[in-house]
Amino acid sequence: MEKILITGGNGQLGSELNVLSKMYSQYKWIFTDWQELDLCDLDRLEENITAINPQIIINCAAHTAVDKAESEMELSDVLNHQAVAIMAKWSFEHHCKLIHVSTDYVFDGNSSIPLDEEAVTNPINVYGVTKLAGEKACLKNNPDAIIIRTSWVYSSFGNNFVKTMSRLMQERDQLNVVKDQVGSPTYAADLAQAIISIITGDKWEPGIFNFSNEGAISWYEFALAIQEIGRFDCEINGISSSEYPTPARRPNFSLLDKTKIKRAFGVTVPEYKESLKKCMQLLRTVQ
């Protein structure tokens, strides 16, 4: 029985993979978070992975606090780059398949057309810089690895934009949301299903792939969709990024082109609003 090691097992994507794993009992699933597999312990990381001895690694772990990363550059680099290099080296040497999850924040946001996997990278914040370094280290140490770039991840698990907006729209009369950053949200359950489709499929094509839900929207339009589906009585105002300064700059445009992953693996990419409805329905049932 093949062993699948998931890092970042308590995060949004790890949690969604955990839900789906129950339907794939042909694998032994090992979900770890920092308590079980500390990626910051670089000196012992290879030894600790060897103790688990997986045939497949899905690296969902990352330092994803984008604003915090600006002041925690060292930690961000350890998690997003140095640990990835070690995992990639180990997986290549042990003939272990590796799927590493990356981000749209490797781009500067100056494009006006959907970004494919060949688009020029130029991160504008520490998170993006360390994630890009992780991508490069991953492919250098394991040219057989698959990297999946995703964007604006949300889920019924963890903290995210959908849950925060849903709560605030019930607490406040009005909200201001940035309207000049365009991309597409990703329901973590859809990404988890895409990853499992790749693992269980009969084709392994190394390289970088994009995955997010279909649709091009701003955070403001995302908030309006949440308001509409949740039937929240709250006024939503669109504001510019300059009116909402944050420690880390965000790309103004990071819409991902999903053509390659659909062609290579036959992955289904749902429309963002359909997935948002599913997630919000789930949130209603668990509240």
Q: Write the CB contacts of 273 (distance below 8 Å, at least 6 apart in sequence).
A: 215, 225, 229
d(CA 150, CA 101): 7
| Per annotation, catalytic residue among 24, 27, 127, 244 | 127
Q: Rounded to 5 degrees, what are φ and ψ at 235?
A: -85, 130
Q: Write the CB contacts of 120 (distance below 8 Å, at least 6 apart in sequence).
A: none
Dihedral over Cα of 35, 36, 39, 41: its sign:
positive
Q: Is 127 a catalytic residue?
A: yes
C-beta neighbour count of 9 within 10 angstroms: 23
Check if the beta carbon of residue 56 is closer than 8 Å to that of residue 97.
Answer: yes
Residues tagged active-site: 127
